[in-house]
Structure 1
Amino acid sequence: MAHGRGGLEPGCMIHSDRGSEYTSTQFRERIRELGFRQSCGRTRSCFDNTAAESFWALFEEEIGTRSWLDRATARAEVFNFIETFYNRRRLHEHKTFGYLTPAETRQRHQHAFAA
């Protein structure tokens, strides 16, 4: 999804923790096919992955540990959280980011490189 929706180009760094989904052969092959580089945080070091840790903390706070009736409903609610709140309404609460949403920050970044 990051490639298809985010407009990532070859050479981009994909950073994650060492979860099995990110270290799987299938994922690593796809990263190579797209021309991306992979980076993983150190084992037992949350400081290597602070952005992801921050996301999951907010996700857990907002979504909680609720149960859904089916997978489709769960996927829809998680998608809604990420796309409507996390990327479009949540503000980077720091003046360095200009108090912009992640979507606004990305748009500003893309325009800066296009100029």
Structure 2
Amino acid sequence: MGRVGSCYDNAVAESFFATLKAEIGTRVWATRAEARQAVFAYLSYYNHDRLHSTLKHRTPYETRVCYRQPIALVA
């Protein structure tokens, strides 16, 4: 989530939280530990198994592992 007035960063965060609510639901868990476990299980799925169309149908984990920063040539 970005600074005030930066709608682009906020849109990504809001989209993620909407997806989270839709996929794990908005039920009330018996304990905070159960809720935390459900969120972390979803995050593991989201990062390692779920394909993202904006990442050319790869997972965020695959994208991060395969990312190589361009090397600047020094004159």
Normalised by the length of structure 1, the TM-score is: 0.53
In structure 1, what is the equivalent of residue 60 of structure 2? 102
Task: Tell whether 2:55 aligns with 1:55.
Answer: no
In structure 1, what is the equivalent of residue 53 of structure 2? 93
- In structure 2, list runs of 5 or more residues that go unmatched: none
* 2:35 aligns with one of 43, 64, 74: 74
Q: Percent identity?
A: 44
Larger Rg: 2
In the TM superposition, structure 1's runs of 4+ consecutive aligned residues that sit over 2 Å from their partners are 45-48
- In structure 1, list runs of 5 or more residues that go unmatched: 1-15, 17-39
Q: CA deviation at 1:50?
A: 2.0
In structure 2, what is the equivalent of residue 41 of structure 1? 3
Q: CA deviation at 1:87?
A: 0.4
Larger strand proportion of the pair: 1
Q: CA deviation at 1:54?
A: 1.4
- Structure 2 Cα separation of the partners of residues 51 and 64 of structure 1: 19
